[in-house]
Structure 1
Amino acid sequence: MPEFLDVLTPAHFLLAVCVTALGGFVKGAVGFAMPLIMISGMGIAIAPELVVAGIVIPIVISNGLQVARAGFGAAGEALREHWRYVTVVCVMILISAQFIRFIPSNVLFIVLGVPVVGLCFIQLIGWRPRLSPRMRRPFEWGAGLLSGTLGGLAGTWGPPTVLYLLALETPRDRQMAVQGVIYGLGSVMLLLGHLRSGILNSETWGFSASLVVPALLGMWLGFRLGDRFDQERFRTVTLLVLMVAGVNLIRRGIMG
């Protein structure tokens, strides 16, 4: 019997598989939100440290596929242009991941829920920061600091990255390549960070690895069916559902 079943009931494992498949489907269809869906969905019933452990390996594999899909030439160009942001994100993921074991469970639910709600709300209202050319470099450092900190603690740095690219007015056809690089390298740092923090250990790595298959099946289905959806409406419904789930995580943190 897998060791993670000692800390996770079969019903909770089935929930994790279904939520991961849904997250993979949304990522394949619209290119975002898998970590947010996994965190908010699994957080309904599963301990927060186990949730964070569970997302790590599926994120690494799925983001690696995203980099390959965008093309390694485009990835290299993106890295040269955005190296400051990428560097800060990666360093901060490694650092902030080390603090997760020192955060009480109820506070961790809030740490997971607040970014989900806040980042989804910002995307729903369509807000984007306006940036003057002279502020680009300070903005890169500051945005990278925020994204990396959220990434290490909550496993998600996608929405802040989208806002960062919008602020720089990155052409839409280049955004996927840039996101692939940032998500890919960041996910490797998340893996290393949580191996170091102890979140990913002999009890939890099997749980995380077992979620790779539903994540990839969901992505495959999303790739095939994504073009059949009204992308903007699907994105809006996804964000609204995530907000509700995020509010529930905050409720769990406050009320227990």
Structure 2
Amino acid sequence: MDPVASLLPATMTLGTLLLAGLVTGLGGFVKGAVGFAMPLVMISGMGIFLDPELVVAGIVLPIVVSNGLQIARGGLGAALQAARDFRVYIVLVCTFILISAQFLTRIPTEAMFLVLGIPVVVLCAIQLSGIRLTIPPGRKGIFSVIAGTISGILGGLAGTWGPPTVLYLLALDTPKARQMVVQGVIYGLGSVALLVGHLQSGVLNRETVPFSALLLIPAVIGMWIGFRVQDRLDQEKFRRATLFVLLIAGLNLIRRGLVA
């Protein structure tokens, strides 16, 4: 038996592993270029040909490592400073994820995808049309509370707090390098929770961990290429690229809300 095949879950073949690797490489590239959307790409792509639970297991280690690389690239000092500067937002996101998750079974998931996706698409379309939405520096505190609460509630109910986080950072006119670090810190905390949660749930187990570990290879390669692209983007091109990816993410959320 092929040594690689022996590491795969019984329902997988080398062909599906190759496809999963290509999808993961694309997700890593997007993550490296704009700092988010790896789960979106991996779940949307691999969900076409793999069991949903296996997809969830597969994304865990690449997400944890990619966020670690994103933080490391900006430097530990920058990450600690970002955690301090955005501590209110981070605390609110984590708190409301825990609270709202308790109501997950009482609210239709499809409805939450629509509640999240429609505003994201509308706001991205407005900004891509040339209208710039900004938060004045003096009002950062109140908007941190509003955005952090909304992001946390949607994170607990819909499983994603990336799109509102990115919109918030763009409205603050966050410099490219700093935005990458802040996103890495916020998503990194969530990815560690994801790892622990799925070790407890049993989704990540002796059979699925090797699959997730193998996906680290294309994830890191894709992210390295994405970093090269990010370095070539000036602030305005980075902003528009981020909005474009965010628009696609929002449309995907609407699709998930409409297709049961």
TM-score using structure 1 length: 0.74
Separation (CA, whole Å) in 1 of partners of 2:141 and 2:214: 40
Given the alignment of the two structures, is residue 219 of structure 1 paired with residue 252 of structure 2, yes or no?
Answer: no
Separation (CA, whole Å) in 2 of partners of 1:237 and 1:132: 24
Given the alignment of the two structures, is residue 18 of structure 1 paired with residue 22 of structure 2, yes or no?
Answer: yes
Aligned-residue offset at 1:62: 0.5
Given the alignment of the two structures, is residue 159 of structure 1 paired with residue 160 of structure 2, yes or no?
Answer: no
Separation (CA, whole Å) in 1 of partners of 2:180 and 2:197: 25
Separation (CA, whole Å) in 1 of partners of 2:240 and 2:149: 31
2:22 counterpart SS class: helix
Separation (CA, whole Å) in 1 of partners of 2:164 and 2:9: 34
Given the alignment of the two structures, is residue 186 of structure 1 paired with residue 209 of structure 2, yes or no?
Answer: no
Matched letter for residue 17 of structure 2: F
Contact 1:93 1:151 survives alignment (8 Å): yes
Given the alignment of the two structures, is residue 123 of structure 1 paired with residue 124 of structure 2, yes or no?
Answer: yes
Q: Deviations over 1:146-199 (max 9, x none)?
A: 434554666543222112223444344432222221122221122122223333
Q: Which runs of 5+ in 1 are unaligned?
A: none
Out of 57, 64, 68, the position equivalent to 1:60 is: 64
Q: How many residues are paired up? A: 250
Aligned-residue offset at 1:227: 5.3
Q: Which runs of 5+ in 2 are unaligned?
A: none
* Cα pair distance change 1:248/1:177, threshold 3 Å: closer
Separation (CA, whole Å) in 2 of partners of 1:94 and 1:210: 31
* Cα pair distance change 1:117/1:45, threshold 3 Å: farther
Identity %: 54
* Cα pair distance change 1:200/1:115, threshold 3 Å: farther
Given the alignment of the two structures, is residue 197 of structure 1 paired with residue 201 of structure 2, yes or no?
Answer: yes
1:97-176 map, 5 Å: 115=116, 119=120, 122-126=123-127, 136-137=140-141, 139-151=143-155, 156-176=160-180
Separation (CA, whole Å) in 2 of partners of 1:217 and 1:149: 33
Aligned-residue offset at 1:56: 1.5
* Cα pair distance change 1:58/1:138, threshold 3 Å: same
1:32-111 map, 5 Å: 32-93=36-97
Separation (CA, whole Å) in 2 of partners of 1:204 and 1:99: 29
Contact 1:57 1:208 survives alignment (8 Å): yes
Matched letter for residue 160 of structure 1: P
Separation (CA, whole Å) in 1 of partners of 2:100 and 2:204: 15
Matched letter for residue 181 of structure 2: A
Given the alignment of the two structures, is residue 6 of structure 1 paired with residue 10 of structure 2, yes or no?
Answer: yes
Instruction: Give RMSD over aligned pairs.
Output: 3.8
Aligned-residue offset at 1:70: 0.7
Contact 1:28 1:222 survives alignment (8 Å): yes
Separation (CA, whole Å) in 2 of partners of 1:175 and 1:34: 16
